[in-house]
Chain A
Amino acid sequence: MVWGARPARRGPEREGGAGPGHYAHDARFVLLRRRYARLAAGVALGFLGWYFGYVALSGFARGLMARKVAGNVNVALLLGLLQFVSTFALAGLYVGYARRRLDPLAARLRADAAAAAAEQAREPR
């Protein structure tokens, strides 16, 4: 053995027949991609906007940030804590959505691909 003995790596060129790209136009994949794109774009824009809004307020709206809310806690500290809360919440929402709406689609496509690969392995070449 020099190169051959270990199982061939699964590159596109070594897949034999249809690789993962085969599913690129599958309706389930198109749906999966659309859902992921919408979710990711929404989450990314939402958190970047909210975070840089907070940074901008810290830089340019210091009067507002200095206003006291309760005891010694002012708007600046409160918004900072809300950044923590919103990060946890966004992460939770993303994970929840992914579990419900993305994972099942991906699992079905994986199962199809595995079945197709098994089929191909059975055929004599």
Chain B
Amino acid sequence: MTDGRTLTFGLFLGFVVVTLAITVWARATTKGADDFYAGGRMFSGARNGVALAGDYMSAASFLGIAGIIALSGYDGFLYSVGFLVAWVLTLLLVEPIRNAGRFTMGDVLARRAPDRAPVRTAAAVSTVTVSVFYLLAQMVGAGALVSLLLGIRAGHRFLGMSAAAARTTTIVAVGVLMICYVMFGGMKATTWVQIIKTVLLTAGAAALTGLVLGRFGFDVSAMLGSAADASGSGAGFLQPGQRYGRDVPGDTYRTVVGKLDFVSLALALVLGTAGLPHIVTRFFAVPDARAARTSVSWAIGLVGVFYLMTLALGFGAAALVGRHAILAQDPSGNTAAPQLARALGEHAAGRVGGDVLLAFIGAVAFATILAVVSGLVLASATSLAHDYFGQVLMLGRPRESQEVAVARFAAFLVGSLAIVLAVVARNLNVAFLVALAFAMAAAANLPAIVLSLFWRRFTPGGAVAGIYGGLVASLVLVVLSPVVSGKVDPVTGENLSLFPKGVDFHLFPLENPGLVSIPIGFLCAVVGTFVTRGKADPARYDDLAVRALTGVGSH
């Protein structure tokens, strides 16, 4: 075990050294705002597409989905489908956004506003809120992961640290590294970190997939059958209903609520992706809208192939590692993929093989987390410096060097905030924050983007109302939902909420707010258009429409 841990640590250290070297190079070549926010817009469509896939494939999708498939079978697959089909909507919106904006979503919205300040402020607030929630989920996850991957249990020590200390150290180390990448290397360094991570992640998943399928003679049906047999649920393992929308016999209300909850999650995934700040920011790292479209095509291909491979990883883990062994390591199944790696390696090359493969997958998981959090910090820093500082505080007339300096400082600020929050929340179950981030992106950002681009009568007041309405609705509904209070495992009586057992103020039955908060976001945008002062300016709409679809005057 110790050898494997040292190897994981060594491989990850290698990744860190290479990426820091890239950061030093990026620092030297990053001069102005275009360089810092958009990597000089010099990335090719394909390269940026690889990075885009990297921004999207978080550890939650790699370890999380593999784990859900390993424990709940088909439902984990059902979950992964939403993450992929969401890209169709993104493909439809990428060119208009790239053409109309400069660095951020706020640029697109502000095109229709004579007074930019309220819209820019709202865009920055939404960007930072969504990013910080997503960051928090990733960083707390990193802390939990290190104890699992390095095999540190209570009472054991690694490099002289106890499990609790290792957890905090990991969160801080991940945070400091992401701040370094973004502060010094801006978009250039972040993009290269994403590219390397995507290559490693895809290679790792492909190696495991090949080994899994090889074990079953490349017969997918045999793999599925073996997974179903080992799961203890038989054929039900390959059918819907193990995890999402479970049928509760004799309780129609809970059955329906469970099913609506999944529809709500699916809605947030499908509509949220195109509004995620770190995805939108990446549209601007290419020379023009055509290249941005190529990026999204590449991302669709890579993300799709990756999720198909998680199918083999998840079912493979169910068949080869087994439910009990997975549950014993981590009740939520996050270690299914690493455990599978070890089992496959051991089968192929004995104990050393197991250690090596586990070490590789563990290092890939850390690289994945590090890359995703960097993208999120960059998106927040860009929006704070460009939308808020540059356009609101400096009235649209900042000095470029000044704005970039503020962006670097904002990266430090947001990164530090995320570290502090993650350390405070390190022992809480915050996995729901990923779904919340998608729901907020769908409820707050998507209405503003879509209506700005395509509705002639839409006003800046509507955009502001839609953003705040969608954000607040999502947040309030989650606070009042069972993920925050009052959810108890019906069998074991174990507390499944954020708040301790006994505290119960939940009023909203669904765990995912999207089903209600996304319509509220759209509704606020429409109502805001009619009730706030100021009419839509047709000249500005014409200007935006022509820019968005043709690229005339784009940056």
Question: Which residues from chain A sit less than 8 Å from chain B, CB to CB?
Answer: 2-3, 6, 10, 12, 15, 19-24, 29, 32-33, 36-37, 40, 43-44, 47-48, 51-52, 54-56, 58-60, 62, 65-66, 70-74, 76-77, 80, 83-84, 87-88, 90-91, 94-95, 98, 102-103, 105-106, 109-110, 113
Contact = CB atoms under 8 A, between A and B. Distances in A.
B506 interface: no
Nearest to A106: B550
A88 to B, nearest CB: 6
Contact of A84 (B81, B225, B247, B263): B81
A86 B512 CA distance: 26
B91 A113 contact: no
Given A72-B238, A113-B552, A21 B546 contact: yes
A55 B545 CA distance: 34
Interface of B: 74, 77-78, 81-82, 84-85, 87-89, 91-92, 95, 111, 220-222, 224-225, 228, 235, 238-241, 244-245, 247, 259, 262-263, 266, 270, 290, 293, 296-297, 300-301, 304, 307-308, 397, 399-400, 454, 539-540, 542-543, 545-547, 549-553, 555
A36 B553 CA distance: 19
A6 B402 CA distance: 14
A51 B85 contact: yes
A37 B78 CA distance: 30
A87 B540 contact: no
Contacts of B539: 12, 21
Contacts of B259: 59-60
Given A66-B235, A91-B300, A103-B290, A52 B263 contact: yes
Contacts of A62: 239-241, 247
A88 B89 contact: no
Nearest to B95: A98
A23 B550 contact: yes
Given A23-B546, A44-B92, A58 B245 contact: yes
A83 B239 contact: no
5 contacts: A15-B553, A21-B546, A55-B263, A87-B84, A95-B91
Given A51-B81, A72-B238, A84-B84, A21 B266 contact: no
A58 B400 contact: no
Nearest to B262: A59
Contacts of B111: 12
A113 B553 contact: yes
Contacts of B224: 71-73, 77
Contact of A83 (B74, B81, B222): B81
Nearest to B225: A72
A32 to B, nearest CB: 6
A21 B77 CA distance: 46
A87 B553 contact: no
Residue with the greatest number of chain B CB neighbours at <10 A, chosen from A19, A54, A113: A19
